[in-house]
Amino acid sequence: MLKRKLTVVLGILVLFSMVLSACAPAALPAAQPAAPAVEGEASWWRTAAQTAGCEGVTLRGISESTPPSRYAADVLAKAFEAETGIKIELEATSWDEMYTKAINDMQAATGIYDFVYIEQDIIYQYLANNYLTNLTQLLADNPELASPDFDFAKFTTFIDNFKDAEGNIYGVPMEAFLKVYLYRKDLFSDPAIQEAFKAQYGYDLAPATTHAQYRDIAEFFTQYGRDNGLDLWGTTVQGNTGHASSFYEFFESIAPTFGVYNWGINMDNWKATVENGGEMNSDKAKEALAFWVDMLNYAPPEATASTWDEVAASFAAGRAAQGWVYGENAAWIATDPDRSRVVGNVGVALPPVAEGVMEDAESGVGYIGYYDGGAFGLPVSSKNQLCTLLWLQYIGQESVQADWAIAGSRIVMESTYDDPKVQEVDAKVDGYYTLMKEAGPLFRGAPPFPFHAALREVVQPYIWKALSGELTPAEALDQAAAAADAELVNLGYGQ
């Protein structure tokens, strides 16, 4: 009896798996956006692939599952394969998993991955460990494989993040965004709201340029939502109390606008505490954290559970009147009715700053927010260096940039801004791309720390505790700075 039942169950399992395997190749992927045209047999790419002996080779890469990566996997990889006969397998996974696997591979020099996603903030760790191949050198050594359509000079200044001290380049940028200030144009331009706001605060309602204004607006809309029975709050806060995203929002988007740069670490002696010459627990930093934690009072209740994902989702659901949102989300929030309830109502502006910060940013001393993004790099351990070089040049052509920009709201080349398709989208997202082009230099990526992740792990619990109210902002930063000093010594910096 039991035996027969087990046989039946096993039979079903086996059948099920056979049916599934039979279906698998038959099912076609959903329709994709138009791929770049294939130039045919005699193309430069085909010849180069033959020269390098790459036909039939499979290249494997790993990236975070973002729209730009998926576009690379679904569209560019297929076009490249048709063009050259080189197959691309791009593993798109979650942010945490991507790092573990890429680092394991490069650390052990196993050569599983031929190209890896390098986020702007992790590149210094990778360079310090000699994980990456010098692309400038590799191109110079193999002139016959240098595509006429590829030139590092065509990229925006964002590519500077992927250079070493001598100016050699280690990554081909594939995405770049600003973390900008988004606001709800429909609410900000409603005459009744404008009147009520002016009556209460004595000045006109407009996108905030100072932190005081930001707070007023947040308070006003939270009250407005409550009075009208709406699911509306004054601001977003990327305040997850168990995830690195809150650390990043504070140190890369909030603290700089109060004049605290580089996580408050003195890069001359690698110290964080004020006593040792750092700024992590300075009065300005404490003011910044107090301001940000206070914003939780005007944020939707999910704020303390929100990473960058949920912040964008909350804003797209129309639950916040303004907020700091990663620019990669700006386009879909503003244009995609399948995912967003605020289509057509998204305004884009520069984030509010404290006095003197804008001057700092213009002179290059400081910055007003986070310039995020990443590149594909070539691990030293890859066994297919030259074939990967071709792929990296392929995605770095000017001709593939515009469609990619529209699919993933990312721009890495100057010329992409002028493309008519991009300009069309630009109009729909309230000039996000124009803002990125013009104000881009005011933003900056993470500081060049080779110990980025290790230090973040030590500091972030204090930020979480400040957000959950377990510590006051001042206590949190005092403890965080002390812990940072100790960890830096432990890591061998600033003895």
Partner 1 sequence: MRSNRMGWALLAPTLVILAVVGFLPFFYVLYVSLFDWNPFSNQLGMQWAGVNNFRRLVFDGAFLDSLWRTGLFAFTSVTIELALGFLLAQTLVNSFPGRTIFRTIYVLPLVMAPIAVGATWRLLTIPGFGPIPYYLDRWFGIDFRLATYADQAFITVILMDVWHWTPFVTLTLLAGLTAMPKEPLEQAQVDGANRWQVFRYLTIPMMMPVLLTVIFIRLMDALRIVDEVFMLTSGGPGTATQFIGIHIYRVVVPKTDYGYGSAMSLLVLYFTIVLCWLLFIALAQVGKQRE
Partner 2 sequence: MKTSTLRKTFGWIGLYGLWIAMSIITIVPIYWMIVVSARSRVELFDAPTLLITSFYAPNYIKPLTDPVFQRYLVNSLIVATSNALLVTVLALLATYALSRWRLPGADNIFFWTITQRMAPPAAFVLPMFLIYTRIFKIGDWTMFDTQIGLILLYCVFNLPFAVWLMKGIMDGVPVELDEAAFVDGANRWTVLTRVVAPLVAPGLAITFILSWIFAWNEYLFAANLTSVNARTITTGLAAFVSVTGTNWGEMAAVATVAILPALIFLVFVQRYIVTGLTFGAVKE
- Note whether 168 and 136 are within 8 A (CB): yes
Choose among partner 1, partner 2, none what residue 491 binds, the Cβ cut-off being 5 to 8 Å by kind.
Answer: partner 1
- Note whether 171 and 377 are within 8 A (CB): yes
Q: How far is the CB of 246 from partner 1 (least distance, A)?
A: 9
Which residue do the tokens 């947040």 mark?
218
100 binds partner 2 (CB under 8 A): yes
Q: How far is the CB of 465 from partner 1 (least distance, A)?
A: 4
For the packed helices 77-84 and 385-395, what is the interaxial angle rounded to 10 degrees? 120
246 binds partner 2 (CB under 8 A): no
User: Using CB atoms within 10 A of its CB, is residue 70 exposed (0-12), middle (13-18) or buried (19+)?
Assistant: middle
Choose among partner 2, partner 1, none what residue 453 binds, the Cβ cut-off being 5 to 8 Å by kind.
Answer: partner 1
Residue 460's identity, in one-letter code, is Q
Q: Which residue lies nearer to partner 1 by CB, 55 or 231?
A: 231
Q: How far is the CB of 308 from partner 2 (least distance, A)?
A: 6
Q: Residue 61 belongs to what H/E stretch?
A: strand 58-64
What contacts 339, CB < 8 A, 6 or more positions away? 316, 332, 333
110 binds partner 2 (CB under 8 A): yes
> 10 Å Cβ neighbour count for 479?
17
The size of the chain, in residues, is 495
Q: Which residue lies nearer to partner 1 by CB, 304 or 434?
A: 304
- Note whether 178 and 372 are within 8 A (CB): yes
Q: How far is the CB of 208 from partner 1 (least distance, A)?
A: 24
Size of the site for partner 2 (CB under 8 A): 59
Q: Residue 235 belongs to what H/E stretch?
A: none
Q: Residue 282 belongs to what H/E stretch?
A: none
195 binds partner 2 (CB under 8 A): no
Long-range contacts at 420-427 (CB < 8 A, ≥ 24 apart):
425/331, 425/335
Choose among partner 2, partner 1, none what residue 4 binds, the Cβ cut-off being 5 to 8 Å by kind.
Answer: none
Q: Which two tokens stand for residue 221?
A: 């809309």
Q: Which residue lies nearer to partner 1 by CB, 417 or 451?
A: 451
Q: Which residue lies nearer to partner 2 by CB, 29 or 420?
A: 29
The C-alpha atoms of residue 329 and residue 348 are separated, in whole angstroms, by 12
Q: How far is the CB of 213 from partner 2 (least distance, A)?
A: 27
Cα 420 to the center of its chain, rounded Å: 25
Q: How far is the CB of 454 from partner 1 (least distance, A)?
A: 5
Q: How far is the CB of 256 from partner 1 (least distance, A)?
A: 23
Which parts of 61-80 interact with partner 2 (CB under 8 A)? Answer: 62, 64-67
Residue 154: C-alpha distances to residues 158, 397, 416, 436 (Å):
11, 9, 10, 17
- Note whether 142 and 88 are within 8 A (CB): no
The C-alpha atoms of residue 172 and residue 130 are separated, in whole angstroms, by 17
Choose among partner 1, partner 2, none what residue 95 binds, the Cβ cut-off being 5 to 8 Å by kind.
Answer: partner 2
Strands 58-64 and 171-184 come out as unpaired
Q: Which residue lies nearer to partner 2 by CB, 265 or 312?
A: 312
Residues that bind partner 1 (CB under 8 A): 96, 99-100, 103, 107, 125, 128-129, 231, 240-244, 300-302, 304-305, 310, 314, 317, 319, 450-454, 456-458, 461, 464-465, 467-470, 490-493
Q: How far is the CB of 136 from partner 1 (least distance, A)?
A: 23
Q: Which residue lies nearer to partner 1 by CB, 19 or 128?
A: 128
Binding site for partner 2 (CB under 8 A): 2-3, 5-6, 8-10, 12-14, 16-17, 20-21, 23-25, 27, 29-30, 60, 62, 64-67, 89, 91-95, 97, 100-101, 104, 108, 110, 112, 231, 307-310, 312-314, 316-317, 319, 326, 328-329, 332, 337-341
